[in-house]
Amino acid sequence: MAELIDPDAKIRFSPKILQRLGEELNPSVDQGIIELVKNSYDANARVCDVWLDIETDNRKIVIEDDGDGMDGDSIVDGWLVLGGSSKSTDELTRLGRRPAGNKGLGRLAALRLGQIARMTSRPGDGFEYTISIDWRRFESVTTVDDVPLVVERERSPGGTGTRIELIDIKASIGRVDVRRLSRALVLLADPFGDEPKGFQPALHSNEYSDLAAQVSSRYFDQAEYHLTGRIVDGVASASVQDWRGETLWEATHGDLSKTPTEAKYALPDAELDLWVFILNAQTFQTRPVQLNTVRDWLGSFGGVHVYVNGLRVAPYGNQGNDWLDMNLARVRSPEERPSTNTSIGRLKVFDQYDSLKQKTDRSGFLDTTAFAELQRFGKDALNWMAQKRVEAAERKRRAARAEAKISASSSSASVAASIDKIENEQSKREVQRAFSDYQRVRDQEADVLRREVQLYRTLSTAGITAATFAHESNGNPLKVISATLTGVTTRLLRNTAVDYDADYRLAIDRMKAATASLTVLSTATLELIDADKRRVGKVRLNQAVLDICKTFEPFFLGRNVQLELSLSGGGEPYVQGAPAAVESVVTNLINNALAAFETANGETRALRVNASVSGDVWELKVADSGPGITGISLDEIWLPGHTMRPHGTGLGLTIVRDAVADLSGTVAAQAFGELGGATFIVKIPVIGVD
């Protein structure tokens, strides 16, 4: 019979494990602090203060909240247990929050930021419980449990909450760390600040006060428009105010509900607030806040958030969750419509009868009639506001055109009257002739502009159609095709009765390549119409070329195109312009080459893209091994509507010409260039090189 040596034997581990589990999991200061703030969020805190240089001590960090707090047993059996947190992401906290913290390991890394970690917690039982961990004591022991830890209890004045002090910080806290920390705190915060159960972290720092202020900053007063809507007993109303608070438009239930019977909304009482921003330099020229600051804030919080009975319901309003299809509506009709990047909103529902059913995993609402009605109300309000803004913009345009016409007529009459006053007849005739010549040239210029406007209206229509297709196809259809192909492939590979390589691999690989090509089309289209890319700013030319080539990579592979990409070294040349303009140049030239390959008989499909800088001029060469430019003169290729390609629009090279001209550059073409096919040469003066 075996002899029992030690009935109390158990696994023990070296203190070095603390370092590996700690510092290696959360290597940066900001990540560690965020883990402790997440613990405050999970503890139902409404306020959490983070001090980085409390009492001018930059070697100490303090995190204090007003959460539920812990007693001695909770500290010993929960807080000190690593990897075994009682928090479950499937269970909501007392305030209906989904736990955000890690299973104790993130907390360990955070606590090891200092040489000493001291935690004091008040659970509301009239006492406060304190534990101190001096990590230096672990350096001289064999195993972790050789260091005893003591929880002390003493009387507390009342209230609940937890205070953690990290003393003698090992790593310095720099501006980059604080910037990352402030952004992470912003993402955890309740952006509206008036919800009684919302979470409001605050960052305090004397040295980095500007970054600390960003955490609590809100910019609703910088919005250009404020849409408010309400549903009471199924009847809706809405109004829009401008930035001064003056009411611009008001809507009745009939204005919003466009159903044939103007039926009531089958929805509990609800309130909608949406703040819409005009994000351009002109609008913010006289504002007390910088444009980029507001843009970053909207980047964190933009979209319409949903609150039911005071609790926020995820994922609505999260980044990437456009549950009201705001971005799709903007793509279809860009004028006067907000996107999730230019607006922030909140839809509050007072649901006494639990008609909005949440999924069991708390990942949103079930697709019930009530949720469909919630979406209908939000979309109806957005559509109504867009309609009123378009009507107002059109009135302004009509007034401007009428005023310009009257002004031109008045000016012409004034000039004619002045000419009549000239006493010398010969001089009068010369002036009249010169003025007539001027009017004729001006009329010709106006006619050219009218034709160009019509051209770009045609382009706009084509672009909107393509963008709508791209938005729709990039969602469910392509995902369904891709997922189905993966499933079919898996089943075929498992089926020993079929020869997958011989009978199916080629066909499935072709389908996968075709799906990848469609994805490129969708992605490229949506990226080109991105509103941010139409804003004028600093454009890095080589980076733009590289990004477009990466986007087209599946296209190249699917069509056996051998890309030779060469970008000039010695820095990154840049210009002042719109990224979309530069990208449209590169995209159209590559599209032109790909189209040329379709009519070529040769098996080799070579595409050479070369960018270089000479002096203050950036030169882009795009050469292909296609059939070259035939059947059309080099002057005609730049004209709208001129093309030798079947079903071609003849607009691609016109766009290249105009976009390059807007950047003060030049374009040229060689019918048979260095690879045998066409070569296009773009030259753009640069501002500088980074």
* Tens-digit pLDDT profile for residues 515-551: 776 776 666 665 555 555 556 678 889 999 998 888 8
Place 376 in a pLDDT band, splitting at 50, 70 and 90. Answer: very high
**6: in domain:** no
The Cβ of residue 127 has, within 10 Å, a number of other Cβ atoms equal to 16
**276: in domain:** yes
Output the six-digit token pair for 382.
Answer: 């957005």
Site of tokens 């309130």 = 271
**419: in domain:** no
Q: What is the CATH number of the domain that holds 293?
A: 3.30.230
Residues 6+ apart with CB under 8 A from 217: 293, 297
Sign of the alpha-carbon torsion through 276, 279, 280, 284: positive
Greater confidence (96 vs 462) lies with 96
Residue 234: predicted pLDDT: 93
Quick check: pTM over 0.75?
Answer: no
- Any bridge partners for residue 242, and if so which? 225
Identify whether residues 243 and 382 lie together within a single domain.
Answer: yes
Averaged pLDDT of the chain: 82
Tell me what the mean pLDDT of segment 103-111 comes to: 71
The Cβ of residue 76 has, within 10 Å, a number of other Cβ atoms equal to 15
Identify whether residues 499 and 352 lie together within a single domain.
Answer: no
**521: in domain:** yes
CA distance 64 to 54: 12
The Cβ of residue 306 has, within 10 Å, a number of other Cβ atoms equal to 24
**Domain closes at, from 510, 529, 548:** 529
**591: in domain:** yes
566 contacts 611 by C-beta, under 8 angstroms: yes
**Domain closes at, from 173, 190, 216:** 216
Identify whether residues 194 and 241 lie together within a single domain.
Answer: no
Q: What is the CATH number of the domain that holds 183?
A: 3.30.565.10
In angstroms, the first-to-last Cα distance of the chain is 79
Our count of domains for the chain comes to 4
Residue 259: predicted pLDDT: 67
pLDDT at 233 over 90: yes
**418: in domain:** no
Residue 467: predicted pLDDT: 54
User: Domain limits at 361?
Assistant: 220-392
Identify whether residues 316 and 341 lie together within a single domain.
Answer: yes
**Domain closes at, from 166, 196, 216:** 216
**E strand residue ranges, 475-634:** 537-540, 561-567, 573-577, 605-614, 617-624
The stretches of 167-219 forming alpha helices (DSSP H) are 175-188, 209-216
Residue 352: predicted pLDDT: 78
Place 215 in a pLDDT band, splitting at 50, 70 and 90. Answer: confident
CA distance 159 to 69: 9
pLDDT at 88 over 70: no
**553: in domain:** yes
Of all residues in the chain, the percent with pLDDT exceeding 70 is: 82
Identify whether residues 237 and 320 lie together within a single domain.
Answer: yes
Residue 345: predicted pLDDT: 93
Residue 491: predicted pLDDT: 86
Identify whether residues 515 and 458 lie together within a single domain.
Answer: yes
Residue 44: predicted pLDDT: 92
Identify whether residues 630 and 497 lie together within a single domain.
Answer: no
Identify whether residues 256 and 313 lie together within a single domain.
Answer: yes
Tell me what the mean pLDDT of segment 622-646 comes to: 79
Identify whether residues 192 and 267 lie together within a single domain.
Answer: no
Identify whether residues 77 and 110 lie together within a single domain.
Answer: yes
pLDDT (tens digit per residue) in 595-606: 888 776 666 789
Q: Which SS3 state, helix, strand or coil, does residue 604 take? A: coil
436, 440, 442, 444: CA torsion to nearest 10: 180
Residue 452: predicted pLDDT: 65
CA distance 649 to 346: 44
Identify whether residues 253 and 351 lie together within a single domain.
Answer: yes
275 contacts 316 by C-beta, under 8 angstroms: no
Identify whether residues 266 and 163 lie together within a single domain.
Answer: no
**E strand residue ranges, 309-454:** 311-313, 343-349
**682: in domain:** yes
